[in-house]
Amino acid sequence: MSKTGAELLIESLISAGVKHLFSLSGNQILSLYDACIGRDINLIHTRHEAAAVHMADGWGRLTEQPGVALLTAGPGHCNAISALYGALMSESPVVLLSGHAPHAQIGEGAFQEIDQVATAKPVTKAAWLADDPSRLDETIADALSLACEGRPGPVHVSLPADILETTIASRSPQRTDTDTTPKAVPPTSDLDDILRQLTQADCPLILVGPAMGRPVRWTEVERLSEATGVPALPMESPRGVNDPWLHHATNCLGKADVVLLGGKKLDFSLRFGQPPFFSEACQFIQIEADTAQLRPENPAVRGIHAEPAHFLRGLTAAAQTREWSHTAEQDQRRATWQAEVAAARKATPPEWEALRRSADQPIHPLRVCEALQPFLDDGGIFVSDGGEFGQWVQAGLEAEPRLINGPAGSIGSAIPMGLAAKLAHPGRAVFAFLGDGTFGYHAMEFDTALRYNLPIIVIVGNDARWNAEHQLQIQNYGKERTIGCELLPSRYDKMIEGLGGYGEFVQHPDDLTPAVERALTSGLPACINIATEAAAAPTFRTNG
């Protein structure tokens, strides 16, 4: 029995365990839509192509399995590029499949023909054009595997329409195994040297990148920290060393004398390891799957090419089975240091207590945090966008897991990522926090939420401005030269009610908790539109 290339591709995704395709329809992918009918795979049909990629990104981060987005050619593909950049910087396993002009018409001026591979390459680990319908199963296997191996990240494949429609001889698709963890044992000399360096340091730190901060890999980090007594911190915020979630632990970075980077780039987010953010004498050990990130010319950085989680697992095993020469005084210094970092991460300014209980209007973001924390403590999932309101909730709320906008520093992903979170964890409440400017990016995904019964709770901090840019203008040019950041105090809750969801407008802090409870009880996708104070994001750094 023969089948089309589209049918082979869908069968390959199903065989690999892919359950959802985050998509927006278009001419060049209709054959794939047809191939999904009656099959064990769900099309989650969004209202914008970027939202489909954000959903795939959220799925990939939460499940640590590839999120697959399916988009049409030309403009549809291009609408996904910024979202791909967000996934790349957040080290999220995403596969973007885009329809493409027919292979036979490439170079002839076909409908919506552009060089999609060239547009995707800068924001993906790899991108290529499929050209053999009989090998589409291998193409899918390669893409899914590559998205997960080493440093996870997005992969793109362009799919010419005629390749998808070609009839080929039937054969069973091969099962895809996305477990690409290297099996090689790290060199004993590397393990011994690094353990010795960490043991002899007074103030060692482990800093890890976005992928290493997610549950499965973070477990390896925690085990190493416990075995060595070296404190560990995830670094996934675009504000880097100024990440407000770090609280006062941001000031511990400058005290570190040895920093082990587990899959963490020594990039802008770490201020390239330079003073005053790090000590001039600080030594870095970089465990890196991507050789392009290693800096052999920097004498302060020892680079080791290895899969970080596997290497850290080897370090832990070595630390647990070997005796190291260290004094009681060194042990005490390290224990004191570990306690200092832990306490600094939990500590908040004393004035926060009053802000958390303030009755002032507009409502301070910390008062919003005070009302929402019990819902997160009860199993709610935390999703946060960027901007000043996003920074406040990232600093003021504690939750596991956390999905934030990530090192790209882009905004707009919270609503679609919240939908992916609800899809991955249907039994848990999902709270997506974002500012009023951000709300405008993907507000129509409430329509997606309604169609697929994904009742997330969206918390909008409405200060009637693009507050992050407004604050930067104040810092750099002065209050008298702010421009172009004003918004209307719009009733976004009414918009969501018009779509069929649940909406409330909150102006008094005492109404926050009842509004959330009513939103949850409604069973509908909900928007709680809160009139908030336009407060500058919190800062904790005292040493640069």
CATH number, position 231: 3.40.50.1220
Q: Which of 446, 465, 444, 441 is nearest to 389 (CA)?
A: 465
The verdict on 523 and 465 lying in the same domain is yes
Please name the residues in contact with 414: beta carbons below 8 A apart, sequence gap of 6 or more.
Answer: 383, 384, 385, 390, 405, 432, 433, 434, 438, 458
The verdict on 120 and 212 lying in the same domain is no
Q: How far apart are CA 256 and CA 237, in angstroms?
A: 20
What confidence score (pLDDT) does residue 488 get? Answer: 97
Please name the residues in contact with 135: beta carbons below 8 A apart, sequence gap of 6 or more.
Answer: none
The verdict on 435 and 321 lying in the same domain is no
What percentage of the chain's residues is helix, strand, coil (to nearest 5)?
A: 45, 15, 35
Report yes or no on 179 lying in a domain: no
Domain boundary among 286, 320, 346: 346
Domain that holds residue 316: 188-346
Residue with tokens 């009842």: 514
**DSSP string of 214-239, one letter each residue:** SHHHHHHHHHHHHHH---EEE---TT
Angle between helices 365-377 and 387-396 (to 10 degrees): 50
Report yes or no on 496 lying in a domain: yes
Report yes or no on 102 lying in a domain: yes
Structure tokens at 493: 């809750």
What is the gyration radius of the CA atoms in the chain, in angstroms?
24
The verdict on 334 and 452 lying in the same domain is no
The verdict on 144 and 192 lying in the same domain is no
Report yes or no on 34 lying in a domain: yes
What confidence score (pLDDT) does residue 102 get? Answer: 95
What confidence score (pLDDT) does residue 182 get? Answer: 45
Report yes or no on 311 lying in a domain: yes
Q: How far apart are CA 199 and CA 236, in angstroms?
A: 26
The verdict on 373 and 328 lying in the same domain is no
What confidence score (pLDDT) does residue 178 get? Answer: 44
Domain boundary among 311, 346, 381: 346
Residue 323 CB burial class (10 angstroms; 0-12, 13-18, ≥19)? exposed
Report yes or no on 180 lying in a domain: no
CATH code of 398's domain: 3.40.50.970
The verdict on 253 and 369 lying in the same domain is no
The verdict on 463 and 392 lying in the same domain is yes
Structure tokens at 541: 């750094």
* Side-chain-side CA neighbours of residue 507 (13 Å): 3
Query: Structural domain tally of the chain?
Result: 3
Q: How far apart are CA 77 and CA 415, in angstroms?
A: 20
What confidence score (pLDDT) does residue 30 get? Answer: 97
The verdict on 78 and 159 lying in the same domain is yes
Report yes or no on 449 lying in a domain: yes
Q: Encode the chain (544 residues) as per-residue pLDDT tens digits.
A: 799 999 999 999 999 999 999 999 999 999 999 999 999 999 999 999 999 999 999 999 999 999 999 999 999 999 999 999 999 999 999 999 999 999 999 989 989 999 999 999 999 999 999 999 999 999 999 999 999 999 999 999 999 999 999 999 866 655 445 444 444 556 777 898 999 999 889 999 999 999 999 999 999 999 999 999 999 999 999 999 999 999 999 999 999 999 999 999 999 999 999 999 999 999 999 999 988 888 888 889 999 999 999 999 999 999 988 766 567 777 788 889 999 999 999 999 999 999 999 999 999 999 999 999 999 999 999 999 999 999 999 999 999 999 999 999 999 999 999 999 999 999 999 999 999 999 999 999 999 999 999 999 999 999 999 999 999 999 999 999 999 999 999 999 999 999 999 999 999 999 999 999 999 999 999 999 999 999 999 999 886 5
The verdict on 340 and 366 lying in the same domain is no
Distance, C-alpha 98 to centroid of its chain: 22
Domain boundary among 301, 323, 346: 346
The verdict on 27 and 124 lying in the same domain is yes
Q: How far apart are CA 367 and CA 500, in angstroms?
A: 29
Residue with tokens 């172009």: 484
The verdict on 452 and 522 lying in the same domain is yes
Contact, 67 vs 52, CB < 8 A?
Answer: no
Report yes or no on 399 lying in a domain: yes
